[in-house]
Structure 1
Amino acid sequence: MNQNFNVSGMTCGHCEKAVTRAIKQVDPQAEVKIDRSKNLVEVQSQQARETLARAIAEEGYTVAA
């Protein structure tokens, strides 16, 4: 299932890696694509949207509803 998240606070490659790592901790099979210029995180995962959003937020980034 493809899910898009609007994530603010990502300013560098380290931020992208942190978000990707957080998502992969809840779903190691997830495919993650990040467009930092648009604050967009695309995730291909079977995990619930809330679970993925919580993982991103726990890394310190703001996920828009």
Structure 2
Amino acid sequence: MAKTVIEVEGMTCGHCKSSVEGALHNLEGVSTAEVSLEDNNVTVEYNDTVVDRGKMTEAIEDQGYDVQ
């Protein structure tokens, strides 16, 4: 199991948190995704043989947020 922190711009509320976490949870291989609105990031635990950071970034950007 791998873990990464992804910096995300534009998240300001509970809906933003739910959107990003939901998009990541829908990806095969992601076990946890926890958004920190205060730190503008999401911490993700995932199986790196199934999903990569590129797919996670795409899922976040598809929700309308910018990944740094």
TM-score (norm 1): 0.90
Structure 2 residue 57 is the aligned partner of structure 1 residue 56 = no
Paired position in structure 1 for 2:41: 40
State the shift of 1:28 in Å: 6.6
CA pair 30-57 structure 1, distance change in 2 beyond 3 A: same
Task: Give the number of the structure whose residues are more often strand, by fraction.
Answer: 2
Task: String of CA shifts for 1:1-49, please: whole Å, max 9, x gaps.
Answer: 1011000110100100000110011137520111111101000012201
| Paired AA for residue 25 in structure 1 | N
Give the share of equivalent positions with the same residue, in percent: 30
Distance 2:18 2:40 in 1: 14
Distance 1:27 1:10 in 2: 23
Task: Extract unaligned runs of 5+ from structure 1.
Answer: none
- Alignment: residue pair count: 64
Distance 1:29 1:57 in 2: 16
TM-score (norm 2): 0.86
Task: Give the number of the structure whose residues are more often helix, by fraction.
Answer: 1
Paired position in structure 2 for 1:13: 14
